[in-house]
Structure 1
Amino acid sequence: MTPNLPQSVSGVGIDLLDIDRMKLAYQRHGEAFFQRVFTKQEIEFCSSKLNPFPSYAVRFAAKEAVFKALSQVGIRIVRWQDIEVTQSTDGVPALSVIGAEDYSYHLSMSHTTTLATAIVVIERNR
């Protein structure tokens, strides 16, 4: 059996977000905004933080970066919740993407007190 190995880079996406925009979205739309954009697991993780907004913002940036990377291969994900940012037991971020399982995802994300950023590289699996 041949291992399911990546073939080559198919797309790259990057996003930068002012964390205050996430706060503003919450002030305008409340929990409904988070429930529309984030999965239950993402909400539980972010809500467990003393200041949840950087965690929400960096995950939002990751989802935007996925949209951008997948658009380069003609895939349009419709629902925000089809993209989920997860973490391995050692804290490494990972992605789960419904509707684009033929790709491997590489995610890097970071935030300061004011900005959140994420970059996603996708590779088509053999």
Structure 2
Amino acid sequence: MIYGIGTDICDVRRIRASLDRHGERFARKVLSDAELATWRARSERWPERGVRYLATRFSAKEAFSKAIGLGMRMPMSWRLCEVGKLASGQPVIVLHGGLKDWFEARGLSAHISVTDESDYAASFCVVETRQVPP
């Protein structure tokens, strides 16, 4: 049964401007440790690829926060929500700490899709709950 649906579109230019203004501090605020390592590696090779990576993660976390109905308030936080990927490349939501506990206590599962194209990154998230038999 669907618990919630969230979508987000993010202007990549806005993310680039935040990086220009705040530097790595902005990336550290939004990304988990694992995501931060990937962002650094991508940014080193090709800075624009790093910006797009950050924009898709920002968008995915916004969509997820909307799907769970919390927005950006506890236990939801940028760094406790991670966008990983399966060996196939499919993105997955990986949760940590209190957010993971909150999510699992409700028997929820998430499905996430992310994309980016020139100036925009977009994400769509569906959160499901196990239907309790009557």
Specify the alignment match of 1:46 in structure 2: 39
Deviation at 1:78, TM superposition (A): 3.7
**Matching of residues 65-104 of structure 1 within 5 Å:** 65-71=63-69, 76-97=74-95, 98=100, 99-101=102-104, 102-104=107-109
RMSD (Å), alpha carbons: 1.7
Residue 27 (structure 1) aligned to one of 13, 17, 20? 20
Is contact 1:62-1:85 (8 Å) kept?
yes
User: Where do 5+ consecutive residues of structure 2 fail to align?
Assistant: none
Q: Deviations over 1:74-114 (max 9, x none)?
A: x8534211110001111110001323122110011100121
Q: Which runs of 4+ in 1 moved over 6 A?
A: none
How far apart in 2 are the matches of 1:41 and 1:76? Answer: 21
Counterpart check, 1:58 vs 2:56: yes
Larger mean CA deviation between 105-114 and 75-84 belongs to: 75-84
Is contact 2:91-2:113 (8 Å) kept?
yes
Select the structure that is richer in strand: 1
TM-score (ref. length: structure 1): 0.85
Deviation at 1:59, TM superposition (A): 0.7
Identity rate, percent: 28
Is contact 1:67-1:77 (8 Å) kept?
no
TM-score (ref. length: structure 2): 0.80
Letter in 2 for 1:44: A
Residue-pair matches, total: 117
Larger mean CA deviation between 40-49 and 106-115 belongs to: 40-49
